[in-house]
Amino acid sequence: MPSREQVHNFAAGPSPLPTTVLEEASQGLLNYQDTGMGLCELSHRGKEFKAVIEGAEANLRQLLSIPDNYSVLFSQGGGTGQFSAVVLNLLSAHRLANPVPAEQFTPPPIDYVLTGSWSSKAYAESQRLVQPTFPNAPAFAAPRIAASSKASGWTRLPKRDEYNFSEDAAFVYYCENETINGIEFPSASNSSSDSAFPFDLVPDGVNIVADYSSSFISRKIPHIEKHAIIYAGAQKNLGPSGVTVLIIRNDLLVDTTAASKLFCVPPVPITYEYKILADNKSLYNTPPTFPIYVSALVLKHLLVEKGGLEGLEQTNKAKAELLYDTLDQAEQAGKVKCVVREKDARSWMNVTFTIEGGDDKEKAFLDGAEKRGFKQLKGHRSVGGIRASIYNAVTLESVKALCEYIQAFAKEN
Ligand SMILES: Cc1ncc(COP(=O)(O)O)c(C=O)c1O
């Protein structure tokens, strides 16, 4: 039976967490801060958990330099829950900002930027939610594609001249890092790239929503202040599955019941209303206390042990560069092929490639990897191939070891 030290875990999510954090969490699970009770056995309204959730928020604010006019919320339902919640809440916000009589109300467009499977799923959910509830009634909104790189098989990002934003959209939506194909918008330090998200092309006043599920706290968020909402399922860089973090501009914390009284908006389930969550400091109903606790420990660890966001960014850049350089060399030798063809669209978190020579060679690669302790390298079931996810808790040493294996495999095959 291998120990944690003998394994290099490249899982796409849920993914590895720092060992020291898990050790502290296991202690807290049994006896939290000498209370004689485990963290999961304490009330979410008690002083202990209050300190946990408030500490998590404060550390996240510091780590990401979140502006004061944004709220930080801990929600449930995963990234997929937010595909729905952003539509419902932002259509209410749009309706309240346009309080004309129902007969004069025009359902707004919603602009989606499609760069892979997750943004496509978010778009599909939006289309589903805006369906009229009666025959001949108008749809609640008109989701549309403002840009898409589907024609490339999700191997590149749209370029600036391929975007076509509406003037009056309820919001613009994009996914910062597409976990399955391994496509990510260029980093803040590469913001002049033609593939960078074109914030300046979005018409003034239009809200921008970003899914950061698989790139959260891996590096600086370009133009955090230009976003209306940034959200992330926790189970990659932050903590265990079960908690979703939202960074939301305060003017979007709207009363969705008041919006529904104006008609023309879909109803919002109470636990998905951002204002309810914010008014109750993420404790409207029982939150997932253990995932929040572990996330709080991870945030402290990232600030204290890992040099904050700057330190994380440097290490993550070094890991990604090393792995892509190794793959590019193996590709030149005809042994592997990187999925994402444009270098500035390559994800720092999810590195995708295929093994040349067919299924047998891929199996040989994966079998050899397994024997050497490289785990969970198989690509997503919808696309196959290989995916090495190198989130914050994956060390540079693990990436170096994987690179050595890729080099040895390329030599021997
Ligand atoms: C970028 C992205 N968005 C959304 C999701 C969906 O998240 P969940 O499974 O938490 O609903 C995932 C899941 O991996 C993801 O990677």
- Compute the CA torsion angle 191, 193, 196, 198 (nearest 10 deg): 90
Asked if residue 335 and residue 273 are part of one domain, the reply reads no
Residue 41: inside a domain: no
Atom from ligand 1 closest to the CA of residue 83: 4
Residues 258, 268: Cα–Cα separation, whole Å? 11
Which residue's CA is the nearest one to ligand 1's atom 6? 79
Is 213's C-beta closer than 6 angstroms to any atom of ligand 1?
Answer: yes
CA of 218 to the centre of ligand 1 (A): 16
Ligand 1 centroid distance, CA of 332 (Å)? 33
Evaluate whether residue 238 is within a structural domain.
yes
The domain boundary, picked from 281, 301, 321, lies at 301
Q: Which pLDDT belongs to residue 390? A: 98
What integer pLDDT is reported at residue 33 of this predicted model?
97
Range of the domain at 373: 308-412
In contact, 12 and 213? CB cutoff 8 Å: no
* 245 and 274 together in one domain: yes
**pLDDT for 191:** 87
Catalytic residue among 211, 275, 306, 335: 211
In a domain, residue 244? The reply is yes
Residue 211 designated active-site: yes
- Beta carbon of 109 within 6 Å of any ligand 1 atom: no
Whether 80 is in the pocket of ligand 1, judged by its Cβ within 6 Å, is yes
Q: Digits of tens for pLDDT over the chain (413 positions)? A: 889 989 999 999 999 999 999 999 999 999 999 999 999 999 999 999 999 999 999 999 999 999 999 999 999 999 999 999 999 999 999 999 999 999 999 999 999 999 999 999 999 999 999 999 899 999 999 999 999 999 999 999 999 999 999 999 999 999 999 999 999 999 988 889 999 999 999 999 999 999 999 999 999 999 999 999 999 999 999 999 999 999 999 999 999 999 999 999 999 999 999 999 999 999 999 999 999 999 999 999 999 999 999 999 999 999 999 999 999 999 999 999 999 999 999 999 999 999 999 999 999 999 999 999 999 999 999 899 999 999 999 999 999 999 999 999 999 98
* Residue 118 a catalytic site member: yes
> Within this chain, do residues 258 and 292 fall inside the same structural domain, yes or no?
yes
Q: Total domain count for the chain?
A: 2
Which of 212, 214, 295, 382 has most ligand 1 atoms within 8 Å of CB, for mutation? Answer: 214
Amino acid sitting at position 316: N
Which CATH number does the domain housing residue 397 bear? 3.90.1150.10
175 lines ligand 1 (CB under 6 A): yes
One domain, residues 227 and 329: no
The question of whether 261 is a catalytic residue gets the answer no
User: Of 255, 271, 301, at which residue does a domain stop?
Assistant: 301
Mean pLDDT over all residues of the chain? Answer: 97
CA 104 to centroid of ligand 1, rounded, Å: 37
Do 124 and 263 share a structural domain?
yes
| Ligand 1 pocket check for 78: Cβ under 6 Å | yes
Q: Which residues pair with 75 in a beta bridge?
A: 244
At 408, list the tokens.
């040895």
Q: Which of 111, 154, 236, 306 is catalytic?
A: 236
Whether 179 lines ligand 1, by a CB cut-off of 6 Å, is yes
Q: Ligand 1: distance of its center to the CA of 174 in Å?
A: 13
292 and 359 co-located in one domain = no
State whether the beta carbon of 118 lies less than 6 angstroms from ligand 1: yes
Could you say which of 257, 283, 301 is where a domain stops? 301
Most ligand 1 atoms within 8 A of CB, residue of 80, 209, 349 to mutate: 80
Write the CB contacts of 36 (distance below 8 Å, at least 6 apart in sequence): none
CA distance 149 to 158: 6
Hey, how many other C-beta atoms are within 10 angstroms of the C-beta on 411? Answer: 10
Ligand 1 contact via 233 beta carbon (within 6 Å): yes
Tell me which amino acid residue 211 is.
D
- List C-alpha distances in Å: 33 to 27, 30, 266, 365: 9, 10, 45, 46
320 within a domain of the structure (yes/no)? yes
